[in-house]
Each structure stands twice: as structure tokens, then as C-alpha cells.
Chain A
Amino acid sequence: MTVRVQQADFDVAAEIAALRAGDARVGAVASFVGTVRDVNDAAAVRTMTLEHYPGMTERALAAIVDRAKARFDIFDAVVVHRVGELAPTDQIVLVAVTGAHRGEAFDACRFIMDYLKTEAPFWKKERTPDGERWVDARTSDDEAAARWGREAGAPIR
């Protein structure tokens, strides 16, 4: 398992190549890349700053990947999340999962993203023409994570 938090951009092809390097069991690689949009809640976004909680972030991401590995028939996963100042079209996050077959790999990838959105300590602050604003959490993100059920091991908050 690889979990990284970094300011620098990432190379999706290189990350996936490293994830499945030499592993001939792998028949499926599912990946998700989140990117910065230029509009959010009807306001133009010029840049955004991503803050995190060093010390907890990597631990929270690793715990989410552990839960995915326990729940789905997958081999390995990588999560890379950027912090600092980002601009529209920049990459924010990568989740990639290897497995023998696509179904479990797709599901595990989505599971990891759904829990990352609700449990990993990152916060976005947007700069718009009207000034800076913290992005509000969406209830749809909580609902997406809840879809996986309590057995997913989410802490009760």
C-alpha cells in the first residue's frame, strides 16, 4: 500500500506502473483522479488552497485502504493527495486499485474515494472574485459513504 500527501503534482501512469510492477496476478486496475474545477456553487474559482492535518492524514488514508482490502478482493492500492495552492485543471487526488477482476477493483476504488471524502482530514479554501471562502462539506458525500453500510467500519461521529 502506498499513501502519500504532497504539494507536487503526480504522474498517473508512473503511479499505476509502480502499483502493478511485476505482479502477474493483476488482471484489473481501476483508478480515479479528482481535479480542480473553475466553478463551484455558482462562483468562479481562481485558485484553491488545500490544508490537511499532518500526522492524522496519512494514518486516516491508510486505515481507509486497510478497510477496502479487508472488504474487497483486491491486491493493492495507491492514494496520492495534493496539498497547498492549486488552480483549475490541476490534479488533486489519485486512487488506483489492482485486483484480479474489474468488479472488485472498481468497487474498492469507489469505496476508498467515498471514505476519503468524509474521513480524511483535508479542507479546501477557494479564492473567488468575491474573496476567499472555505468549502462546505456536502451531505451527498456522507450519503455516498453511508451507502457502503455500517459494516464498512466507519467511526460513529
Chain B
Amino acid sequence: MRDDSTATSVSIVYLARLREALGMAGERVELPADVTTAGALRSWLAARGGAFGRELAPGRAVRVAVNHDLASPATPLHAGDEVALFPPVTGG
């Protein structure tokens, strides 16, 4: 749990196949107090069900970047962060 009582708002960016499967390029969300890490955010979004449940289910290969750096599930989130969710990259 966060020790502050103010709402934590982050912007989420969905890229490539994930953007198409979810039907949106991004959104701004207010995080519940117990969603404090990149991994928790993914689980929270997956709990919406539907396309989110399918695409973000455990075992699906999803990468997360926080403020333009690759993140691990334990990476903490803060108000104003830009969190990007995307499939494994295929450049080069």
C-alpha cells in the first residue's frame, strides 16, 4: 500500500499488436492504493477481462517500460509515470 492518500494517476501506452487487440492507443488511469508496481498494474488491467484478460494473462509475453526504460514486474510506479505495454520487439 502507498503511504500517501492522494490518487496516483499514470498514463498507459499500448503499442503494436497490443494496441490493435485492446482497441486503444492509451489511457489515463487512477491506480488503486495496492497497485504500486509494473507487475501489479498488469494484473490489475488483466482483471478487467475481455481483451485485457486475454492479452495480459500470465504467460502471455508482454514487455513493460516505465518512463521509457524497460521495467521488471517489481519496478515501482509513481504519479505521472508513462507506462508502456507492448509485445516482444521485432526490429532490426
| A interface residues (Cβ-Cβ under 8 A, vs B) | 34, 50-53, 55-56, 59-60, 81, 92-93, 113, 116-125, 134-137, 155-157
Q: Could you show 10 A-B contacts with beta carbons less than 8 Å apart?
A: A60-B70, A93-B92, A120-B89, A120-B92, A121-B86, A134-B16, A135-B90, A137-B89, A137-B90, A157-B70
Q: Is B78 interfacial (CB 8 A cutoff)?
A: no
Q: Please report which residues of chain B, range 46-89, place their CB below 8 angstroms from some CB of chain A when the two chains form the complex.
A: 61, 63, 65, 68-72, 84, 86-89
Majority secondary structure of chain A interface residues (helix, strand, loop or mixed): mixed
Complex CA–CA separation, A98 to B22 (angstroms): 43
Check A156–B86 contact: CB distance below 8 A: no
Hey, which bits of chain B sit against chain A, CB under 8 A?
13, 15-17, 61, 63, 65, 68-72, 84, 86-92
Given the known inter-chain contacts A81-B91, A134-B16, please indicate yes or no for A123 contacting B72, CB distance below 8 A. Answer: no
Tell me if B87 and A137 are in contact (CB < 8 A). yes
Closest chain-B Cβ to A40's Cβ sits at a distance in Å of 11
**Chain A residues, CB < 8 A from B71:** 155
| Minimal beta-carbon separation of B55 from chain A (angstroms) | 12
User: B17's closest neighbor in chain A, by CB?
Assistant: A134
Known: A116-B92, A123-B16. A56 touches B68 (CB 8 A): yes
Question: Nearest Cβ distance between residue A133 and chain B, in whole angstroms?
Answer: 9
B63 with A157: CB separation less than 8 A: yes
Apart from A81-B92, A123-B87, A137-B61, list 16 A-B contacts with CB within 8 A. A34-B92, A56-B65, A56-B84, A92-B91, A93-B91, A93-B92, A117-B89, A117-B92, A119-B89, A121-B91, A122-B89, A122-B91, A122-B92, A123-B16, A123-B91, A136-B88
Name the A residues within 8 Å of B86 (CB-CB).
53, 121, 123
Q: Which residue, of B13, B15, B68, has the highest number of chain A Cβ atoms within 10 A?
A: B68
Provided the pairs A53-B13, A55-B68, A157-B70 are in contact, do residues A122 and B63 lie with their beta carbons within 8 angstroms?
no
Contact A116 B91 (CB under 8 A): yes
Q: Please indicate the chain B residues that have their CB under 8 angstroms from the CB of A156 in the complex.
A: 72
